[in-house]
A and B are shown apart, each in its own frame.
Chain A
Amino acid sequence: MLELRDIRLSYGNSQILKGVNLSVSRGDVVSIIGPSGTGKTTLLKCINYLARPSSGTIALDQIRMDYRRADKPTVQAIRLRTAMVFQQFNVFKNMSVIQNVMDPLIVVQRKSKEEARQIAVQELERVGLSDKLDMYPSQLSGGQLQRTGIARALAVRPDVMLFDEPTSSLDPELVGEVLKVINDVAASGMTSLLVTHEMQFAKKISNRIVFMDQGVVAAEGSPDEVFDTPSNPRLAQFLKSEVAFQ
């Protein structure tokens, strides 16, 4: 369903992605793990072209694009079928919770206000924010902000959800409420890509784990293969340090 081939990207002289391949089937929940600075987030942002690879190709079902000849209509087509949840939440600060979810539906999808509201109410209920509809971002906790971000992403009915370290900037006691929502989303059959440092969580919800190291996919496999019998020495070392850290 989603296929990335030979993605390369550099900032200045430093190569961030050095030829990454990734393929995701419908309904897959794929977690991308690895040390900081290995390009996990950048890879995710290549999918919706927030990061711009110098070369490589993407295929999302029938939509195909060579990044060397990226064009607006194709980028837009991909963006309309994916939705991203950000590490820093990135909810719109000038809008209430429900407006955050409604706005893309009205502005981008040209839905009527009533229909947008209906969808927004439904999605916000799903993430447990029914009592916060008219609150503004400045009044919310990190966990509530991130759940708003998730509802906003779900509301556009994407084919693929992209979670970029969704709990990394949360206070520890708020991580649980967000993980629970992501778990529900993954369990509902939504195709999901998740960049995360929550190893236990990744192991539990994913059907595939991708280990990235120094700009390439260094290992991948089922959660059991990756976590219990790591064949790659760098992966083994990384898991050890993560466990020691936790």
Chain B
Amino acid sequence: MFDFDVLLPDTLSILSAVPLTLALAATIFVLSTIIGSLFAFIEQRRVPVLRQGVVAYKVVFKGVPMVIVIFLAYYGVPPALQFLTTLFGLEYNAHSLPNWILLVIALTACVSAFQAEIVKGALNSFDRGQADAAYSLGYTGGQMFRRILFPQVILAAIPDLANSVMVIMKALSLGFAIEVIDIFAQAQLTAALNYYYLEAFVVAVVIYMVIAYLVTFSADRAEKALRLRM
């Protein structure tokens, strides 16, 4: 049945994958939030052509399973990159690109589509009358953005952004398909060595829960602190 003796060694083994998992999640979160915000601004400003591009992009990347995008990146990005480097006469073996970079590219591509919706929603919640008031008082567009719009939009987006962090954390387990070892993959590997599968996955669950709790907790704290000043 359940063997408590392997829990400690298993935990130590699986914990070794936590730093990489968190680093990958943070990278994907930052990149996808930047790209998603860009998309949201393009839609909000109704930039011609680009706007249709963003809408099409969102349909594709919200609809296609992430694991397929990961495989597409795995098989598609290196040859494409090799083609470009050869075209520009650069000495670089694109096939030596580490898999974790391909995973970051694939997941960033997918999550950006969702981040775009989050930022768009937060932007829509902003009461434009305040912008009118700012402009009537002589604020420039940049001053209005920094002083009034940004602080309110970021606050409105915090709960959904915290959600995204967890979505990314979980999506990283798909990286096992291209041999990127995150928490889930490490649990799999650890169990494969001693055949205590149930124990390894229970440990993984606990680790995921702790991370989820910490993310939610700090997001709530941040939101409350900002809300107090609003």
Contacts and interface: CB of A to CB of B under 8 A. Distances in A.
A123 interface: no
A88 B147 contact: no
B152 interface: yes
Q: Which of B130, B137, B151 has the most CB of A within 10 A?
A: B137
Contact of A79 (B138, B152, B230): B138
Interface in A109-157: 136-138, 149, 152-153, 156
A90 interface: yes
A107 B147 contact: yes
A94 B152 contact: yes
A96 B130 CA distance: 14
Interface string B118-149: 00000000010110111111110001000110
A83 B137 contact: yes
B181 to A, nearest CB: 43
A214 to B, nearest CB: 25
Interface in B78-129: 127, 129
* Residue with the highest number of chain B CB atoms closer than 10 Å, among A76, A92, A152: A92
Contact of B229 (A82, A104, A136, A156): A136
Given A93-B127, A94-B151, A136-B230, A80 B132 contact: no
Interface residues of A, number: 28
Contacts of A104: 134, 137-139
A162 B145 CA distance: 24
A108 B230 contact: no
A79 B136 contact: yes
B138 A84 contact: no
B148 A88 contact: no
Contact of B130 (A76, A84, A90, A108): A90
Contacts of A211: none
A103 B230 contact: no
For the residues of B in contact with A, the DSSP-based class is: helix
Contacts of A96: 229
Nearest to B230: A94
Given A90-B132, A107-B147, A136-B229, A152 B137 contact: yes
A86 interface: yes
Contact of A107 (B130, B143, B230): B143
A86 B130 CA distance: 10
A152 to B, nearest CB: 7
A63 interface: no
A94 B144 CA distance: 12
A91 interface: yes
Counting chain A CB atoms within 10 Å of each CB, the highest count among B129, B133, B136, B151 belongs to B136
Contacts of B136: 48, 50, 79, 82-84
A151 to B, nearest CB: 12
A161 to B, nearest CB: 11
B133 A93 contact: no
A218 to B, nearest CB: 27
Interface string A59-97: 000000000000000001001101110101111111010
25 contacts: A48-B135, A76-B138, A79-B137, A83-B136, A84-B136, A86-B132, A90-B133, A92-B134, A92-B147, A92-B148, A93-B127, A93-B152, A94-B148, A94-B151, A94-B152, A94-B229, A94-B230, A104-B137, A104-B139, A107-B143, A107-B147, A108-B139, A136-B229, A136-B230, A137-B230
Given A84-B136, A156-B137, 13 more contacts: A76-B138, A79-B138, A80-B138, A83-B136, A84-B133, A91-B130, A92-B147, A94-B230, A103-B147, A104-B134, A104-B138, A137-B230, A152-B133
7 closest Cβ pairs, A-B complex: A90-B133, A90-B129, A108-B138, A104-B137, A84-B136, A94-B151, A79-B138
